[in-house]
Structure 1
């Protein structure tokens, strides 16, 4: 097995760093602040309507009028393409597994928070019919910036004090089960009616959920725009290869084999990993050495594209809460697909601008149709592959 250290590329011109939160305060925000309605029973698990099917992966639309998804390049309806997705905060704790609806995410981000624990954010296009989504945990402000790239509704269960400034911005539409940054505050949070506890008598950090029907009603009640807002949304996010001529990375600068991708030096608690399935052409994702499952489908999470985004980070003044730079033009990472990998750089210069990724020749990378996993790595931590 070969180890490759992600290059540490820093710049004095980096303009913005964002942060994480402390575990004790997080529990206060998520357990004590429980204004969300509760239900005695959770909806029965039901298979989700995933667009990532063999029919969707074709150069010809399966039905007249269908268009390409900016997120996955799958064929979707014009109504889905014009509608705003949701960006949901999913935990990685052992006790929170398995989760519902996470497999429907076209893009899944994973990044460290405090206490050497990572957290995930799933961006989901076709969410309206999902019968159960979660469990859901608290937000972090750097995740909000990534959700803004997709003009998504940000879905979370409260969050630390520094999240307040971000979710109060006029361009951010969020729904939260708990008030942000005020431990013990029982006042209703924005959109809290969309959330429930699967066991209302035992409000733990692992049993908070929502669903498509509740989110639809809450979004309507809040008066949020449901169609993509032209002022904030840039659909030119990823560049995709055609289905008939996928990107095999053959001839790419510095290409190498990568059948196994090991994040254990980056996500030290979960030891996130992905393994390539040659027959299916996708990477299967695991946590704690076990398959990561979506309970709605009982299927393991798979990805056609894997991006490692090396990112400058530091601590806030209390030396406890993490900050991550989301806007930069100097940092690097890796791109993996079809059992191969290359070194890349990434750029993002404004809040709603998509993050762009480039190979070592300066060309924008070309993704394959399907889902993408983006692992945000702290500069100086290794990605391991073989």
Structure 2
């Protein structure tokens, strides 16, 4: 009898547990159904990141007086060097041209052009070939308080150097072997080259100051950021037909926003690096120019003069004017409103071009 009672109790316990389990499952099912109809969502607010402009650190840098680019502070007050560079086809490519912050080009005798680089810092062991001075280049070097480096000079240049009191390193003086060397694989007179070490030693030997004077004012004004001109005049190819012999041209690289230089129907490269010369800015300065004697030497009206020109950057061109006062060494460019020209920071090419042949400066592209 007791076994039967125990058996019934066991069966009853099992039934009760089964019923409780089913009830629990039903309850969970109801909770799940309810949750599916009215879910409870706990969300965390999303905070969008605020973009921050990267701040450049120029604590130990200053703006270059030559290019407007940031340079080490210790170089900011150093006088530049103005170096005369051969530009005939036989002497191409030149060495060290890519290091120049500003590159000038002008006619000399016989339809050829000569270059002059304004160097803020010398980085090359081979610069040149270096050629003889011309008096209008002496005047331009004076605009920058530059130390003028040349191998030879005309009588007109000698007179101008003395007149303006220009510090110069000449290959026809006793410091020639200090500053220059001859590359015997190249025919003279196209084989004289300068070195950084030699130029610095020559400067020390001559006792020239290596810093700007206290009252020197930067030759140019520069934008803080890259700026497009307010112009509709395209200048994506610039050709300067100095003569039948020399007609350099530039093409604009839209992606890099710079001008690539060509001459003698090919890329104009630097012998030291093999890289093409590139410029951010192009200035065409129209000048009154004529033969000074029967030898075909050129002269220009630059002493106390003014004129017109073009400023070209970022594929566009504007008209400008210029004024020079040689007694103060100042040369300034102005926009159409008469404001001093503001330029984009970077390397600049400047052509001194005859003002009676403005049509020989050809700009590609029509008005936008």
CA distance in 1, matches of 2:324, 2:54: 30
1:141 equivalent among 106, 111, 135: 135
CA distance in 2, matches of 1:336, 1:193: 39
Normalization by structure 2: what TM-score?
0.79
Normalization by structure 1: what TM-score?
0.76
1:162 equivalent among 156, 172, 175: 156
CA distance in 2, matches of 1:59, 1:102: 33
Matching of residues 40-79 of structure 1 within 5 Å: 62-79=57-74
Which residue number in structure 1 is paired with residue 3 of structure 2? none
1:108–1:120 CA contact under 8 A, matched in 2: yes
1:362 equivalent among 317, 324, 338: 338
Q: Which SS does the other structure have where 2:301 is aligned?
A: strand
1:175–1:192 CA contact under 8 A, matched in 2: no
Q: Which stretch of structure 1 is more off in the superposition, 349-358 or 108-117?
A: 349-358
Matching of residues 163-242 of structure 1 within 5 Å: 163-169=157-163, 171-178=165-172, 188-189=173-174, 191-199=176-184, 204-230=188-214, 233-235=216-218, 237-242=219-224
Closer, same or farther in 2 for the Cα pair 1:206/1:343, shift >3 Å? same
What is the Cα deviation at residue 317 of structure 1? 4.4
What is the Cα deviation at residue 130 of structure 1? 1.9
Which residue number in structure 2 is paired with residue 263 of structure 1? 240
CA distance in 1, matches of 2:345, 2:102: 12
CA distance in 2, matches of 1:147, 1:62: 33
Which residue number in structure 2 is paired with residue 80 of structure 1? 75
Closer, same or farther in 2 for the Cα pair 1:383/1:203, shift >3 Å? closer
Output one character per residue of 1:249-285: Cα deviation in whole Å (capped at 9) or x when no partner. Answer: 12x4xx4011000102x34412110110000000001
CA distance in 2, matches of 1:353, 1:297: 34
Q: Which SS does the other structure have where 1:138 is aligned?
A: coil
Closer, same or farther in 2 for the Cα pair 1:307/1:221, shift >3 Å? same
What is the Cα deviation at residue 329 of structure 1? 4.6
What is the Cα deviation at residue 362 of structure 1? 1.4
Alignment length (residue pairs) = 310
What is the Cα deviation at residue 379 of structure 1? 1.4
CA distance in 2, matches of 1:157, 1:93: 16
1:177–1:190 CA contact under 8 A, matched in 2: yes
2:139–2:326 CA contact under 8 A, matched in 1: no
What is the Cα deviation at residue 59 of structure 1? 9.6
More helix by share: 2
Which residue number in structure 2 is paired with residue 275 of structure 1? 251
Matching of residues 274-293 of structure 1 within 5 Å: 274-293=250-269
Which residue number in structure 2 is paired with residue 384 of structure 1? 362
What is the Cα deviation at residue 125 of structure 1? 0.4
Which residue number in structure 2 is paired with residue 6 of structure 1? none
Output one character per residue of 1:90-129: Cα deviation in whole Å (capped at 9) or x when no partner. Answer: 12101111111111111110000010111000001011x3
Q: Which has the larger radius of gyration?
A: 2
The structure 1 segments of at least 4 consecutive aligned residues displaced by more than 6 Å after TM superposition are none
Q: Which SS does the other structure have where 1:257 is aligned?
A: coil
CA distance in 1, matches of 2:247, 2:164: 37
What is the Cα deviation at residue 203 of structure 1? 5.2
Which residue number in structure 2 is paired with residue 124 of structure 1? 119
Matching of residues 309-320 of structure 1 within 5 Å: 309-318=285-294, 320=296
Q: Which SS does the other structure have where 1:219 is aligned?
A: helix
CA distance in 1, matches of 2:92, 2:277: 12
Higher RCO (CA 8 Å, separation ≥ 6 residues): 1
